[in-house]
A and B are shown apart, each in its own frame.
Chain A
Amino acid sequence: MKILIGISSKKYSEPTLDVGMRIARTLKSSTTILDVGQKINEFSYKDVSLANELMESWDLDRPGVDVLEWAYNYLKKKNYIEKNSSEPGFSKNLLVDKGNGRSEVFLKGIILQNLSLILRNGDIIEELRDEVHSFNYDLAIIGGSGKRSMAHDLIQYIDSSIFVVNNFNQKQKYRILLAVDDSPGTSKAVKLGVRVAQAFNIEVDLITITNEKEISDKYHNASSRAEKMMRRSGVKSKVKFIKGELVNTLVEVAGDNHIIIMGTSSQSPLSKFFLGSKPLDVMESCNCPMLIVK
Chain B
Amino acid sequence: MLGFSERSLTTILFWVTRKKWLILSFLLSISFFYIPSPEGLSPEGHRTLIIVLVALSLIISETIPLPAVAILILIMEVVLGVDTADGVASSFMSDAVFFIMGSLMLAVSIVHQGLDKRLALLVINITGNKTWRIVMGFVTISALLSSFIGEHTVGAMMLPVALALIRNAGLDTGKATKLSSVLLFSIAYGCAIGSIGTPSGGGRNVIMIGYLAEFGMAEISYLDWMKMAYPMLLLEIPIVGIILWRTFTPSQKIMDSSVRKLKVQVAKTGKLNANQLMAIGIFILVFIGWIFFSPIIGLGIVALSGVFLYLSFGLIDWKEINRNTNWGVILLFGSAISLGIQMRETGAALWVAEQTLTYLEIIFQDVEIVRWFVSVIVTGLLTNLLSNAATVAVLGPIVLDMGGDPIITGIMTSIASAFAYLTVVASPTCMIIHSTGLITSADYFKAGWKLFIISVFLLLIISLFYWPLLSL
Interface positions of A (Cβ within 8 A of B): 10, 37-38, 40-55, 57-58, 60-61, 63-64, 66-67, 70, 121, 126, 129, 153, 156-157, 159, 268-270, 273
Contacts and interface: CB of A to CB of B under 8 A. Distances in A.
Contact of A58 (B160, B424, B432): B160
B6 A269 contact: yes
B255 interface: no
A50 B107 contact: yes
Contact of B163 (A48, A55, A129, A269): A55
B163 A60 contact: yes
B1 A157 contact: no
Nearest to B423: A41
Contacts of A268: 1, 6, 9
Q: Kindly name the residue among B17, B156, B427, B437 whose own CB sees the greatest number of chain A CB atoms within 10 A.
A: B156
Contact of B431 (A48, A54, A57, A157): A48
Given A55-B163, A67-B174, A38 B324 contact: no
A269 B432 CA distance: 39
Nearest to A268: B1
B152 interface: yes
Interface stretch (B277-285, B325-333, B399-407): B325-333
A55 B13 CA distance: 40
Interface string B78-105: 0000000000000000000000000010
B13 A273 contact: yes
Given A64-B437, A270-B9, A46 B160 contact: no
Given A46-B324, A46-B325, A269-B9, A60 B173 contact: yes
B65 A42 contact: yes
A45 B326 CA distance: 8
Contacts of B104: 46
Q: Kindly name the residue among A38, A53, A61, A159 whose own CB sees the greatest number of chain B CB atoms within 10 A.
A: A38
Interface of B: 1, 6-7, 9-10, 13-14, 17-18, 62, 65-66, 104, 107-108, 111, 114, 116-117, 152, 155-157, 159-161, 163-164, 167, 172-174, 265, 324-326, 328-329, 387, 390, 424-425, 427-429, 431-432, 434-437
Given A42-B328, A51-B157, A157-B10, 8 more contacts: A43-B425, A47-B107, A47-B152, A60-B163, A70-B174, A129-B14, A269-B6, A270-B1
A156 B13 contact: yes
Given A48-B431, A48-B432, A269-B9, A42 B62 contact: yes
Contacts of A48: 156, 428, 431-432, 435
Contacts of A52: 435
26 contacts: A37-B435, A41-B424, A43-B66, A44-B428, A44-B432, A45-B326, A45-B431, A46-B104, A47-B152, A47-B156, A48-B428, A48-B431, A48-B432, A51-B157, A51-B435, A55-B160, A55-B163, A57-B117, A58-B163, A63-B435, A129-B14, A153-B17, A159-B7, A269-B9, A270-B1, A270-B9
B108 A42 contact: no
B10 A156 contact: yes
A44 B160 contact: no
A54 B159 contact: yes
Contact of A42 (B14, B66, B164): B66
B164 A58 contact: yes
A47 B428 contact: yes
A44 B431 contact: yes
Contacts of A40: 431, 435
Contact of B160 (A37, A51, A70): A51
